[in-house]
């Protein structure tokens, strides 16, 4: 388990290092990102931030999340159908398992992707920069529900 505090600190440090400003809104957003295990949507982050910072706007959440993504402090999981989801705890590519019923997203322990990229480079000539691996299925609790 990563210490939430240190992740928040590292994000703040990154902001300062690039001379972006540390505003109360940004602090609130990045706290939600780090404390969420659920891979929240922007809308969800917005709700949580508003509860103790009521004047925050949705646009600011979008802007902050995009900024953190560009600084590699957040992993964006884009979905064409429905909203994007964000992971502030493991801001690097890793596999996800997604429930197609309840939209829950979990991080499984899986290895064996790194060696594929060297194989790929040889075969395709591409310079590989990042990847995305999602498994879609039905989670245990939805399996019961819909049986």
Binding residues for its own copies (CB under 8 A): 78-81, 84, 97, 99-100, 106, 108-110, 112, 116-117, 119-120, 123-140, 143
| Residue 23 binds DNA (CB under 7 A) | yes
Q: Which is nearer to DNA, 12 or 117 (CB)?
A: 12
What is the distance between the terminal CA atoms of the chain, rounded to a whole angstrom?
34
Residues numbered 97-136 forming contacts with DNA, rule: CB under 7 A? none
Q: How many residues bind DNA (CB under 7 A)?
A: 28
Coil, helix or strand at residue 99: strand
Rounded-to-integer distance, Cα 38 and Cα 140, Å: 16
- Least distance CB 7 / DNA (angstroms): 19
Residue pair 45/32 in contact (Cβ under 8 Å)? The answer is yes
Which residues contact residue 102 at a Cβ distance below 8 angstroms, ignoring those fewer than 6 apart?
139, 141, 142
Contact positions vs DNA (CB under 7 A): 16, 19-26, 41-43, 55-60, 62-64, 66, 78, 80-84
């Amino acid at each position: 388990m990563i210490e939430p505090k240190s992740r928040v600190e590292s994000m703040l440090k990154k902001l300062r290092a690039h001379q972006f400003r540390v505003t109360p809104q940004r602090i609130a957003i990045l706290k939600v990102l780090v404390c969420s295990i659920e891979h929240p949507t922007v809308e969800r982050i917005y709700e949580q931030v508003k509860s103790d910072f009521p004047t925050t706007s949705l646009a600011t959440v979008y802007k902050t999340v995009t900024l953190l993504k560009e600084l590699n402090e957040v992993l964006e999981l884009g979905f064409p159908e429905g909203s994007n989801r964000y992971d502030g705890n493991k801001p690097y590519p890793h596999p996800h398992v997604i429930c197609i019923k309840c939209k829950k997203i979990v991080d499984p322990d899986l290895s064996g992707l790194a060696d594929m990229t060297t194989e790929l480079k040889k075969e395709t000539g591409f310079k590989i920069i990042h990847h995305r691996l999602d498994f879609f299925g039905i989670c245990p609790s939805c399996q019961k529900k819909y049986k």
